[in-house]
C-alpha cells in the first residue's frame, strides 16, 4: 500500500494532476450551464468572479458565460497550460493569492478542488475579495453511474482495485463536501444534473485521470487498469457506442459569515 499524502498545511494545495494535465482537460466532464446561471442569479452582481483551483479552466469558462470577468487561479502551471483562452478569463498561477482588490468580487468558486485545499486559507482570501453580500460556492461530483452491470465493475475498481491509492482527502468528495466546515450561511441549492454521453475510450480516458489511478500506475504499471478496461469492454458493447454517464453533483453555496 502506498503512503498517504501528508495532511495539508496552511497555504498548501495538493497537486495530483499535473502529470496528466492533458488527459484531465480532454476527458473530465463539463459542468452544466444551469449551475452557472443559478450562481449568477444568486450573486449580488456579475462583474467579477474568482475561480480558485481552476485546473484547466472548466468552471472558469462556464462562469465567463455569465460574468464580465473571471480570474482563474491554480498552483499547477501544467494544468493552466491546458486551459482554453477566453477574452473574459484571466489565468494566474497561484495557490490562494488571487491578486484581486479587496471587496471586488461578487462570486468565489472552487470546482472539484476544495478537498485538496486548506479551507481556512481559501476562505480567508475569499472573505477579503468578496464584496458585502458576495457568494461563495463549491461543488464536487462523486462516483459516476452508467448501468447496473457497468456500475458493479466501476465500484469494485474504485473501492478495491485502486482503493488504497486514494489520497485521504477523497472521502470528502464521497461525502459530497457535507463534512467540510464552511463558514457560510448555507443556501438551499437546487439539484443539478452533470451528465455526459461517452464512448468507451472516452470513459476509460476519464477513469485514467483519477488521482488514485495515477498513483497506481506509478506504483504498479498498467496491469490493473488494463484488466479493468477489458472487463468494462465486455459489457459496454461497441467501443463507439455512447453510454450516458451520470455524475452525482454536490453543490454548497452561501454568503460568508
At 9 the pLDDT is 34
Give dist(CA 194, CA 245) in Å, integer: 9
- Please choose, from the candidates 4, 62, 52, the residue with its C-alpha nearest in 3D space to the C-alpha of residue 28: 62
Question: Nearest-5° angle of CA 193, CA 198, CA 201?
Answer: 145
Give dist(CA 167, CA 212) in Å, integer: 7
- Please choose, from the candidates 103, 55, 99, the residue with its C-alpha nearest in 3D space to the C-alpha of residue 76: 55
Residue 105: strand pairing partners: 130
Q: Residue by residue, what is the 3-state secondary structure of 234-254?
A: HHHCCCCCCEEEEECEEEEEE
Instruction: Name the grid cell of 208.
Output: 485514467
What are the residue ranges in the chain where pLDDT is below 70?
Answer: 1-21, 24
At 26 the pLDDT is 87
Instruction: Name the grid cell of 49.
Output: 468572479
Kind plus residue range of the DSSP H or E element containing 156:
helix 148-156
* Domains in the chain, CATH or no CATH each: 18-256 (3.40.50.150)
Class of residue 23 by CB neighbours under 10 A (exposed 0-12, middle 13-18, buried 19+): middle
DSSP 113: -
- Please choose, from the candidates 166, 156, 154, the residue with its C-alpha nearest in 3D space to the C-alpha of residue 216: 166
At 11 the pLDDT is 43
At 25 the pLDDT is 74
- Please choose, from the candidates 43, 25, 64, the residue with its C-alpha nearest in 3D space to the C-alpha of residue 126: 43
Amino acid at each position: 500500500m502506498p503512503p498517504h499524502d501528508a495532511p495539508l498545511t496552511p497555504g498548501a494545495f495538493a497537486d495530483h494532476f499535473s502529470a496528466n494535465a492533458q488527459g484531465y482537460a480532454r476527458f473530465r466532464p463539463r459542468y452544466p450551464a444551469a449551475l452557472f446561471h443559478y450562481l449568477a442569479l444568486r450573486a449580488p452582481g456579475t462583474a467579477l468572479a474568482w475561480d480558485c483551483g481552476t485546473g484547466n479552466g472548466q468552471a472558469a469558462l462556464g462562469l465567463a458565460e455569465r460574468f464580465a470577468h473571471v480570474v482563474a487561479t491554480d498552483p499547477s502551471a501544467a494544468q493552466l497550460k491546458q486551459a482554453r483562452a477566453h477574452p473574459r478569463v484571466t489565468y494566474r498561477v497561484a495557490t490562494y493569492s488571487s491578486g484581486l482588490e479587496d471587496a471586488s468580487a461578487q462570486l468565489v468558486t472552487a470546482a472539484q478542488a476544495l478537498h485538496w485545499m486548506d479551507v481556512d486559507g481559501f476562505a480567508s482570501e475569499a472573505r477579503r475579495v468578496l464584496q458585502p453580500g458576495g457568494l461563495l460556492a463549491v461543488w464536487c461530483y462523486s462516483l459516476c453511474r452508467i448501468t447496473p452491470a457497468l456500475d458493479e465493475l466501476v465500484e469494485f475498481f474504485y473501492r478495491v482495485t485502486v482503493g488504497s491509492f486514494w489520497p485521504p482527502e477523497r472521502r470528502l468528495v464521497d461525502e459530497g463536501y457535507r463534512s467540510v466546515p464552511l463558514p457560510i450561511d448555507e443556501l438551499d441549492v437546487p439539484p443539478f444534473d452533470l451528465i455526459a454521453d461517452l464512448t468507451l475510450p472516452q470513459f476509460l480516458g476519464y477513469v485514467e485521470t483519477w488521482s488514485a489511478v495515477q498513483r497506481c500506475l506509478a506504483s504498479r504499471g498498467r496491469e490493473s487498469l488494463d484488466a479493468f478496461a477489458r472487463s468494462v469492454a465486455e459489457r459496454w458493447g461497441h467501443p463507439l457506442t455512447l453510454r450516458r454517464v451520470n455524475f452525482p453533483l454536490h453543490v454548497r453555496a452561501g454568503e460568508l459569515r
